[in-house]
Structure 1
């Protein structure tokens, strides 16, 4: 695993690492209290999956953003820094919705009974008083981390700007193609996260093991991951046939998300589900990101054969060399032969 090197890299990754650890502790405590509160017969209702699934997604969001931060500082990718900050803001919105959903679920559970008229939870135990403080602390902590990551990312982008400029030799056309490539990679990584979150919620809570839709829905998880990996591979090697296949897959995924959004907004059985607002949040965000990914993938396809491939192949070494040049101490002597020469950015 790549280790940060500069002070701002350590700060940026450290903030997101601390966020992941704290959220893990909070969600683990909430899940432990939930398991002590519910009875085994709670699995008879769909609502029993809401709290475990949403808690797992909350932690997954934080740990995924943390690993993205390591990827961003490893490749010195300014676009990914921005995407991480935006994604963390989305995690903040999710944590706020999670507070409301948790409160509504806990208030409804004590009055529900199974087929034998047995309670689904321990009516003598007031779980909300135990976890309310943690549910409030989660969005507050994520909000503070989000503000801190924005400030840290601003410092990092200034460090990386010169390195990125040097890696593409300052040519305007090459910079434009390189920027399209970087945006495509970033959108691909972020879209996958929102698709996974939607599929988990929709499959486990709404579809709830009803075959064959449940199997087909959960099958999208490995397909989405494979599509992301294939997208990275073909755009680096400029394989037009495989890139055409990837673009067709993006269109199919967009059509699927559109159909699920229409269903959730409709009046059928699937529209009457718990956690509907969160499903729509993830589905709509994933749809927007996929459309943007599709546009960038087409732009990358058009750019194949225009000299970007060798730059991408050697980009890591060039960016690192440029970055180290940028970070030389300010007291280093200036070469004598360049004293009267013009500054060259080539």
Structure 2
């Protein structure tokens, strides 16, 4: 008997290969833009948009690949769907970066030749590479949709091995998976907002810079503790985590006001669009995390703890039957694990009785439901 290894199927390998290849192409295009700009300008002032652009895309690509391996390891369809949505958001972000880079490189009336947007300007030199990025991400998004569909059918029956066929348990476990997935994406969105603020906008001597730096470990600890609390059903820690989420929501609202109020709007002139999108997405994700967290809190102490702690260690196994051929379930576990049977009977143990001989049939016990009639050959459910 051997465990099925990670990336052992065509769909898994193709899904990861799609992400890796598009990540390499995107990072290459961004690196070319970075190199062209570095030849002519110093990354100070408005030009700091370019290295931040590279840093965010590098972070996004690494995060997405790690999330993909994690989803495949756990056979988690919900997380794969989350990656698909995240990839769509990257298309929007890459399109916004075309506008943001143009705002950084073109200064109306500037004396520097490269800042005026002429036919041979730096802007027109890097524009083709910037346009390639959203096109590549969009093409890989379509390919990902096909392979995620394949993985959905490949992993769809795994939930039966975690919580059985009980519909209530299945729903509770799905909310738990959504909660863990949301916490992971919360981490990326918060990191993306703070990277842009620290690199592009805030001065190290400002009070807001210190506030942003102090918020980083607080939010990261909040997300880690919330994940630990929801997995182990620690009520007091979950209560604190949910309360801190509301405080973090107020922080995002404060930042949105700062982006547009007259006293500070000029500080965010070259990054306002990207920061606004990131902050709104982070706000909505955290609000969704809070709402799903309340639902998960309500499911504490309802018998799901064992599945949370041990259920996701599941791995499909391939065994060899007596005829030497490979069988997905082995000789007899087909009866105890097949989804159709589980959906009807629940996670019970099946044993097949041998056919009785004619002499044995006469001594079989009577059934009161049949009015004393004899029971025939049967499959018993123990």
| Band the TM-score falls in, shorter-chain normalisation | 0.7 to 0.9
Compare relative contact order (CA 8 Å, sep 6+) and give the higher one, 1 or 2.
1
- Report how far residue 129 of structure 1 moved: 3.5
State yes or no: 1:34 paired with 2:37: yes
- Report how far residue 81 of structure 1 moved: 0.7
What runs of 5+ residues in structure 2 fail to find an aligned partner?
320-324, 348-382
Q: Comparing 210-219 with 60-69, which one deviates more in the overlay? A: 210-219
Within 5 A, what are the aligned runs for 1:110-125? Answer: 111=110
Relative to structure 1, the CA distance from residue 324 to residue 193 in structure 2 (aligned partners, 3 Å threshold; closer, same or farther) is farther
Contact 1:9 1:156 in 2 (8 A): yes
What is the distance in 1 between the residues matched to 2:195 and 2:234? Answer: 32
Q: Which residue of 2 aligns with 1:218?
A: 213
Contact 2:318 2:328 in 1 (8 A): no
State yes or no: 1:251 paired with 2:246: yes
One of 141, 144, 148 as aligned partner of 2:143: 148
Where 2:141 maps in the other structure, the secondary structure is: helix
Contact 2:108 2:115 in 1 (8 A): no
Where 1:219 maps in the other structure, the secondary structure is: helix
- Report how far residue 157 of structure 1 moved: 1.1
State yes or no: 1:315 paired with 2:314: no
One of 217, 220, 224 as aligned partner of 1:229: 224
What is the distance in 2 between the residues matched to 1:337 and 1:50? Answer: 58
Q: Which residue of 1 aligns with 2:341?
A: 344
Q: Comparing 299-308 with 217-226, which one deviates more in the overlay? A: 217-226
Contact 2:245 2:290 in 1 (8 A): yes
Contact 2:88 2:141 in 1 (8 A): yes
Q: Which residue of 2 aligns with 1:70?
A: 69
- Report how far residue 103 of structure 1 moved: 2.0
Where 1:198 maps in the other structure, the secondary structure is: helix
Q: TM-score, normalised by structure 1?
A: 0.86
Q: Which residue of 2 aligns with 1:132?
A: 127
Q: TM-score, normalised by structure 2?
A: 0.78
The structure that is helix-richer by fraction is: 1
What is the distance in 1 between the residues matched to 2:245 and 2:148? Answer: 30
Contact 1:238 1:309 in 2 (8 A): yes
- Report how far residue 104 of structure 1 moved: 2.6
Relative to structure 1, the CA distance from residue 331 to residue 139 in structure 2 (aligned partners, 3 Å threshold; closer, same or farther) is closer
- Report how far residue 11 of structure 1 moved: 1.0
Relative to structure 1, the CA distance from residue 332 to residue 81 in structure 2 (aligned partners, 3 Å threshold; closer, same or farther) is closer
What is the distance in 1 between the residues matched to 2:329 and 2:242? Answer: 50
One of 154, 157, 162 as aligned partner of 2:157: 162
Q: Structure 1 segments of 4 or more deviating over 4 A?
A: 119-125, 328-338
Contact 1:200 1:218 in 2 (8 A): no
Within 5 A, what are the aligned runs for 1:323-334? Answer: none
Measured against aligned partners, the alpha-carbon deviations of 1:128-159 in whole angstroms (never above 9, x if no partner) come to: 34322211111111111111111111111111
What is the distance in 1 between the residues matched to 2:122 and 2:100? Answer: 14
Contact 1:77 1:160 in 2 (8 A): yes
What runs of 5+ residues in structure 1 fail to find an aligned partner?
113-118
Contact 2:318 2:330 in 1 (8 A): no
- Report how far residue 342 of structure 1 moved: 12
What is the distance in 2 between the residues matched to 1:133 and 1:225? Answer: 37
- Report how far residue 292 of structure 1 moved: 0.6
Q: Considering only aligned residues, what root-mean-square deviation do their CA atoms show, in Å?
A: 2.9
- Report how far residue 220 of structure 1 moved: 2.7
What is the distance in 2 between the residues matched to 1:324 and 1:252? Answer: 49
Where 1:177 maps in the other structure, the secondary structure is: helix
Relative to structure 1, the CA distance from residue 261 to residue 122 in structure 2 (aligned partners, 3 Å threshold; closer, same or farther) is closer
What is the distance in 1 between the residues matched to 2:275 and 2:87? Answer: 18
- Report how far residue 222 of structure 1 moved: 3.0
- Report how far residue 190 of structure 1 moved: 1.0
Where 1:108 maps in the other structure, the secondary structure is: coil
Contact 1:65 1:84 in 2 (8 A): yes
Where 1:201 maps in the other structure, the secondary structure is: helix
What is the distance in 1 between the residues matched to 2:291 and 2:232? Answer: 19
Contact 1:263 1:271 in 2 (8 A): no
Within 5 A, what are the aligned runs for 1:50-69? Answer: 50-69=49-68
Q: Which residue of 2 aligns with 1:286?
A: 282
What is the distance in 2 between the residues matched to 1:342 and 1:296? Answer: 27
Q: Which residue of 2 aligns with 1:205?
A: 200
- Report how far residue 207 of structure 1 moved: 2.4
